[in-house]
Amino acid sequence: MAKTNQLGLATKDTQLLANGLNDLLANYQVFYMNARAFHWNIKGDKFFELHLKFEEIYTDALVKVDEIAERILTLGFTPLHSFSDYIKQSAIKEYKNISDGVKAVEAILDGYKVLLVKERALLKMSGEADDEGTNALMSDYIREQEKLVWMYTSFLQ
């Protein structure tokens, strides 16, 4: 019989899930900071529209950062919690001094592309591990972000 954690999930599976969630957490932290910087630094004729949109993005990302960290804790592991770890682990590029709306939206879309790939991998992994909690989070995130990708892509056209 396999060793299980306090949730009744296989310990080896939850370790892999926690590792994947920590990777996702690092990427969300960099994504959050990018969106925050775009919100602060945006200029131009779409300022009012994009200023609000970037605030929506970083507010949503902050909620997800907390949910992901708490899911890692629920699985019995420790979330990453230093910016040096986030920068080292994140596949999302750190952006500096972007005030152009088109470049900022392109960077947001690049970030969503990274997040979606990682979330789909976690969705598959959590499904195989019977981890409904992680699976539900990833399913919700994917659904929300696919719609946002469509909307921001439409903005650029």
Q: Taken in order 65, 56, 122, 31, is the CA torsion positive or negative?
A: negative
Q: How would residue 79 be classed by pLDDT, with cut points 50, 70 and 90?
A: very high
pLDDT at position 2: 62
What's the whole-number mean pLDDT along residues 43-53? 97
Residue 108's pLDDT is what? 98
How large is the average pLDDT for residues 132-147?
98
Domain with 140 in it: 11-156
54 within domain boundaries? yes
- Give me the mean pLDDT over the 6-11 stretch: 92
pTM over 0.75: yes
Domain count within the chain: 1
> DSSP string spanning the chain?
---B-TTS-BHHHHHHHHHHHHHHHHHHHHHHHHHHHHHHH--STTHHHHHHHHHHHHHHHHHHHHHHHHHHHHTT------HHHHHHH--SPP--S---HHHHHHHHHHHHHHHHHHHHHHHHHHHHTT-HHHHHHHHHHHHHHHHHHHHHHHHH-
pLDDT tens-digit map of 115-127:
999 999 999 999 9
CATH code where residue 93 lies: 1.20.1260.10
Model confidence band, residue 156 (pLDDT cutoffs 50, 70, 90): very high
Percent of the chain with pLDDT over 70: 99
Q: In this model, does residue 20 exceed pLDDT 70? A: yes
Residue 1 pLDDT greater than 70, yes or no: no
Looking up tokens 């899911």 gives 71
